[in-house]
Amino acid sequence: MASPTHSSSRSIQRGGRPVRLYRRLRIAAALAVFLSLTAALVDFRELVPVRFGHWLAAIQFVPALVAATAGVMVSAAILGVLVVLTLLFGRVYCSVICPLGVFQDVVSRVARLAGSRKRPLAFAQPHTRLRQTVLWAVVAATLTGWGGLGLALVDPYSNYGRIVSAFFRPLLTWANNAATGLANKIGLLSVYRVDLPLHGLGALVVPSLVLTAVAVLAARKGRLYCNTFCPVGTVLGLLSRKAAFRIAIDKDACTKCGACFRACKAQCIDLRAGAVDFDRCVACFDCVGVCEDHGIGYQFSWIRRPDAATKPRERRQAVASDTGATREPRRTFLGRSFTLVAAGLWAFARGRAAEPTVGPAGPIPPRGATPESDGAAGIRDIDPLRRHAISPPGSIGVRRFLDRCTACHLCVSACPKHVLQPAVFEYGLEGLMKPRMDFTASFCDFDCTKCVDVCPDGALERIPVAQKQAEQLGLAYFDPGKCIVTTKGTDCAACSEHCPTKAVYTVPYGNNLRLPTVDRDMCIGCGACEYACPVQPVKAIEVSGLRTHGLARKDNPRQPKALKPPAEGDFPF
């Protein structure tokens, strides 16, 4: 391996004030993004603006990729910016924008301060096969129609969102409620109790496993999770190998004191070879911040070295020395290139899968079309036995929703009624952790569109309030044999009073009683009737979901029509 010349060593931006400033700026930017996104995910007081949370989530890699393949041009531009950023400066996304990456840094720092990690992290060989296996598994899942589940399991942003929603948000809510009494006694009336339905135990399994794995690996091995199991880190690592600016070691100035590799959280600095594996480097600048001899720094690599212009063999050796990596076998190079091609096919397949033409109940009608009627049965597309979950407004249909949603639970945090809850097997295995409408916990607010406004990956289409108010998520089914009007002989009408579209109304029954009935053409499946029904344990009126959402009729045939105004000069009687 050719040693760098004196001229090449001067091209390194050494670890003085400028590079240390880069580290401070990186830490400030990372904390700003991390804390802001965490606040949006943990917001139990509805203090964070919905659009603010949306844009923080929209700049994440996987949501931008999913939305871009669905034709959202803004997300395509965001994805392009992330790629260009990586090609210029390396994996700054992993150290600044990704919340799970910053969370690992926080855990690693706490573990170091607590003394649980006494030995410094030494250089480790890359787990190339494992990294590519995980990436290939996601590609295979996408090509076989399981891309929605595959992305939900491995997306670092979505995993962090589920961790916050499942654990941190309830914990802070409990702390808020515990402090309410004391705060009110001293005059802080702005502190009040907040009711928050807790996730079921089944919905906590995956977040618990991910939190445990990430926390243990971060405390013991720094960024090992990012450089082993995270496919986003694998893809960005392949791009960063050709980055314009890279961290490199100046062999003339390096004294091999070991300060840099002790500070390296990615275990990618090999002092013996005098090289940095920039494939795994997350561009945190911790190494250049601790080097007192200026032996490691930031290098502009898109330039031909004077000492590499003589022979091809010497040129290849010089390039290997400057990039901090040994010469790869041709087999490895072809494998990585083929992985990039597979990633392109992955994006193409996501684009095709995001617009399904046939759903579980047959062809999906265009948006706004009323599902095909089946006479007395109501809607052919319905499941009266409630064997599947009800997808949120703006999802258009269950199939489309499961293909696009990465289960980040930002909509779960944004829902003011807490009707959105993570599914276990209500959608089937493919819908694991995806949000569903839980009308036992609450109901969908007639005038609310926060879930569609905050969704970053296009799984919930942005629609105006008027359109949302006519979207049929499901249909209400009334069982008169369970209603207290028939079982106890007393009036109730809770379901009809809470129905926002007046699809549920009452008709005369028995001795001066009124019995509810349902006009399913006007029903939007918001769940207000089911939630209000006092019958336990099985409600007298329940909502069954539509696999493909429809459009409700807005005009009420039972409402008296307004009389035409009299013509000018005529008597009004």
Cα separation, 432 vs 425, in Å, equals 6
pLDDT for the residue 317: 45
Using CA atoms, how far apart are residues 248 and 259, in angstroms rounded to an integer? 14
Per-residue pLDDT of the chain (573 residues; tens, 9 = 90+): 344 444 343 444 444 556 678 888 999 999 999 999 999 999 988 888 988 999 999 999 999 999 998 888 999 999 999 999 999 999 999 999 999 999 999 999 898 888 766 677 788 888 989 998 999 999 888 888 888 899 999 999 999 999 999 999 999 999 999 999 888 888 888 888 888 777 888 889 999 999 999 999 999 999 999 999 999 999 999 999 889 998 888 888 888 888 887 888 898 988 888 889 989 999 888 888 888 777 888 788 876 544 444 444 444 444 444 444 444 454 554 455 455 545 554 544 444 444 444 333 333 443 334 333 333 333 445 555 555 689 999 999 999 999 999 999 999 999 999 999 999 988 888 899 999 999 988 999 999 999 999 999 999 999 999 999 999 999 999 999 999 999 999 999 999 999 999 999 999 998 889 999 999 999 999 999 999 999 999 999 999 989 899 999 887 777 666 556 656 655 544
Which three-class secondary structure state does DSSP give residue 373?
strand
Query: Which residues have a Cβ under 8 Å from the Cβ of 357 and sit 6 or more positions away?
Result: 363, 364
- The CA–CA distances, whole Å, from 363 to 357, 367, 369, 548 equal 6, 12, 12, 9
- Number of C-alpha atoms within 13 angstroms, CB side, residue 435? 31
Residue 318 burial by CB count (10 A; 0-12/13-18/19+): exposed, middle or buried? buried
- Within-domain flag for 73: yes
Look up residue 124 and give its amino acid: A
- Give the list of residues 6+ apart from residue 397 with CB closer than 8 angstroms, or none: 359, 364, 391, 546, 547, 548, 549
Judge whether 305 lies within some domain: no
Task: Provide the domain count of the chain.
Answer: 1
Distance between CA 7 and CA 31 in Å, rounded? Answer: 37
pTM of the predicted protein model = 0.82
Residue 473 in any domain: the answer is no
Residues in the chain: 573
Which ranges in 145-302 belong to alpha helices (H)?
Answer: 147-154, 156-163, 169-185, 205-221, 231-240, 259-263, 286-290
- Single-letter residue type at 273: A
Q: Hey, what are 262's tokens?
A: 């002790």
By CB atoms closer than 10 A (0-12, 13-18, 19+), residue 438 is: buried
| Structure confidence at residue 370 (pLDDT) | 39
Residue 3 lies in a domain: no
User: How far is residue 429's CA from residue 335's CA, in Å, rounded to a whole number?
Assistant: 32
- Decide: 474 and 542 in contact? Cβ < 8 Å: no
Taking the C-alpha atoms of residue 339 and residue 137, their distance in angstroms, rounded to an integer, is 11
Across-strand partners of 363? 358
Which one-letter DSSP state was computed for residue 570? S
**With contact defined as beta carbons under 8 Å apart, do 307 and 318 qualify?**
yes
Domain with 209, as residue range(s), is 18-242
First vs last C-alpha separation in the chain? 105
Per-residue tokens: 8? 């090449």
**Residue 181 located in a structural domain:** yes
- 65 belongs to a structural domain: yes
Taking the C-alpha atoms of residue 169 and residue 410, their distance in angstroms, rounded to an integer, is: 12
Residue 551 placed within a domain: no
